[in-house]
Amino acid sequence: MFEKDPSLDEFRDGLPELPSDNEAGKRRMRRLISALAVLVLFLGFLSLANTPPGAQIVSGKGAVEGVVLTSSGEPFQGEVLILGSNQTVRTNADGSFRLENVPAGEQSLILLGENGGNEIRIHISRGETYQVGVIRFVETAMP
């Protein structure tokens, strides 16, 4: 029960010297710095989580491929591009396309026809090819 209590032997030479004010102050300072560092780390993570999708920190490149058909099932003839990049191709005669060197991360795949276009959100992973499969070009109601 009492074995953890200090023994009288420890006080043979008198009471132990209390830490000086300087040392206590230093300890307080270090504790404050540690607490602030933890707070800054937490805020940093929070800030990163709040980063808008447009501001990507993903690196590397991938590819995307698929086939585009018109609403009537014919091969779509038009441009396919990644918004904000210079990756643009024209669809092949059968409506198929493949875009290389697409920056990794969330991207907007744009299909541009004669009078308008469609946007499809895709996620490109580094070194991989995203398969959009067969997609239908939706004629937009033009004003």
* 90 near another protein, judged by CB under 8 A: no
Question: β-pairing, 129-136 with 61-69?
Answer: parallel
* 69 near another protein, judged by CB under 8 A: no
DSSP string, 29-78: HHHHHHHHHHHHHHHHHHHHHT--TTS-----EEEEEEEEE-TTSSBP-S
Q: Is 14 left (phi over 0), alpha (psi -120 to 50) or beta?
A: left
Tell me whether residue 70 is exposed, middle or buried, using C-beta atoms within 10 angstroms of its C-beta: 0 to 12, 13 to 18, 19 or more: middle
Cβ distance to another protein smaller for residue 117 or 129: 117
Cβ distance to another protein smaller for residue 125 or 140: 140
Cβ distance to another protein smaller for residue 32 or 134: 32
In order of 69, 95, 98, the CA distances from 136 in angstroms are: 5, 10, 16
Residues numbered 100 to 139 that lie near another protein (CB under 8 A) are 108, 110, 112-113, 115-119, 138
Total binding residues toward another protein, as defined by CB under 8 A: 37
Smallest gap from Cβ 25 to another protein, in A, equals 7
Contacts with another protein by CB under 8 A lie at 22, 25-26, 29-30, 32-33, 36-37, 39-40, 43-44, 46-47, 50, 52-54, 79, 81, 83-84, 108, 110, 112-113, 115-119, 138, 140-143
